[in-house]
Amino acid sequence: MAKRVLMKGNEVIAEAAVRAGCRHYFGYPITPQTEVMHYMAKRMVEVGGTFVQAESEVAAINMVYGAAAAGARALTSSSSPGISLKQEGISYIAGAELPAVVVNIVRAGPGLGGIQTSQGDYFQATKGGGHGDYRNIVVAPASIQELYEITVESFNLADKYRMLVMIFGDGTLGQMMEPVKFKDTETIIQADKSWATTGRGGRAEHNIVTSIYIDPDTLEKKNYELQDKYALVAKNETRFETINVQDAEIVFTAFGTCSRICRNVIRQAAELGIRVGMVRPITLWPFPSEEIARVASLDHVKAFLDIELNAGQMVEDVRLAVNGKKPVYFHGRMGGNMPTQKEILDQLVAIHKGEVR
């Protein structure tokens, strides 16, 4: 039955994962994502799956590595400092080309920081965080319904491309409750897993999962194969939402819960006679550079205003995509604070009047 329930973001992630066929969860408590783990502690038992509270986030990501190598859909979740701990494991997962889903419910940093919402891990998520030339698919939902749908899809994407998919939820998303409508059954892609280490079982060759290639030529070739894969993902899986740019003078770029505030400001600005649109990246990697470049080329677009919960991270990618065609302004809040509609509107009005540097 297609249920419509009021649910907390963290719990929706867990439920969506189970519906996507994930039967192995490994985690460690950290605020503000611990409810994912609490939910899984019960739900995994109900579905006969695995639940392990690991000794650390490091151990948890390595358990995911093992489970993924063995051919299963596996999940771990954490928040910023815990995601820092996982970086070695994430790099190994990328190098070994394993499918995996990792959730980051982002809190304010750096260091121990604070426990309230942030988007300060954008660099970490999209530019590496771990060592080496690799990419993860990074998805940034902006509502609980989108969180559910994207979580299910993340497992399919991970299997399809043999990649790690990171669900980037600002802290607010993990904690807030909204109605979500679950499907009766999910579409689960059955990917080829003949490479998995399941026990040789009469196979002519044994399967090996590894990320080390000591010979430079071999490792370089492997890296080019990865780059080719990433190019394919960028071509096929870039997701974004563009609102109201057909006659917009100023265009927001924002993701996650920030984009919701911007959506409201667009309406307020319209009442003041200022035409505002937005490009909302849904995949942070692959980044919708082409779409932003396209919008930057529109004659009526005069400027971009990037709104983030950090000191200015995605704005660098926006500037790269805009490539000097139009000015890109930035407004951010940190520490767990969120911008008010008023402060964003004030910035917008100032830009519109030409009063901003």
Partner 1 sequence: MAIVFEPTKGLTDKPFHYCPGCTHGIIHRIIAEVMCEMGILEDTIGVSPVGCTYNNYEYFACDMVQAAHGRAPAVATGIKRVHPDKMVFAYQGDGDLASIGAAEILHAAARGEKISVFFVNNAVYGMTGGQMAPTTLLGQVTTTSPFGRDAAMQGYPMNVSELLSQLPGAVYIERVAVNNFKNIQTAKRAVAKSFRAQQKGLGFTMVEFLSTCPTNWGKEPVESLRWLETAMMPQYPLGIYKGKDLEV
Position 138 contacts partner 1 (CB under 8 A): no
Q: Which is nearer to partner 1, 115 or 196 (CB)?
A: 196
Window 313-352: contact mask with partner 1 (x via CB under 8 A): ----------------------------------------
**Least distance (Å) from partner 1 to the CB of residue 221?**
18
Q: Which is nearer to partner 1, 116 or 136 (CB)?
A: 136
Coil, helix or strand for 304?
strand
Position 201 contacts partner 1 (CB under 8 A): yes
**Interatomic CA distance for residues 261 and 117, integer angstroms:** 14
CA 159 from chain centre, in angstroms, equals 16
Omega within 30 of 0 (cis) for the link into 110: yes
Query: Can you tell me which residue has the tokens 């988007």?
Result: 119
> 284 φ, ψ to 5°?
-80, -30
Window 207-246: contact mask with partner 1 (x via CB under 8 A): xxxxxx-x--------------------------------
**Interatomic CA distance for residues 91 and 33, integer angstroms:** 22
What are the Cα distances from residue 297, in Å, to 176, 198, 250, 273?
37, 52, 13, 22
Coil, helix or strand for 189?
coil
**Least distance (Å) from partner 1 to the CB of residue 35?**
22
Which positions from 69 through 88 interact with partner 1, judged by CB under 8 A?
Answer: 69-72, 74, 88
Which amino acid, residue 282?
I
**Least distance (Å) from partner 1 to the CB of residue 109?**
24
DSSP string over 212-256: ---SHHHHHHHHHHHHHHHHHHHHHH--EEEESGGG-SEEEE--T
Considering only 1-9, 29-37, 49-57, 105-113, which stretch makes contact with partner 1 by CB under 8 A? 49-57
Question: Pick from 7, 17, 22, 67: which binds partner 1 (CB under 8 A)?
Answer: 67
> 341 φ, ψ to 5°?
-60, -40
Position 50 contacts partner 1 (CB under 8 A): yes
Position 31 contacts partner 1 (CB under 8 A): no
Position 206 contacts partner 1 (CB under 8 A): yes
Question: Pick from 5, 41, 54, 219: which binds partner 1 (CB under 8 A)?
Answer: 54
Residue 196: exposed, middle, or buried by beta-carbon count in 10 A (0-12, 13-18, 19+)?
A: middle
Question: Pick from 7, 36, 52, 164: which binds partner 1 (CB under 8 A)?
Answer: 52
Residues that bind partner 1 (CB under 8 A): 24, 26, 50, 52, 54-56, 58-60, 62-72, 74, 88-89, 92, 96, 197-202, 206-212, 214
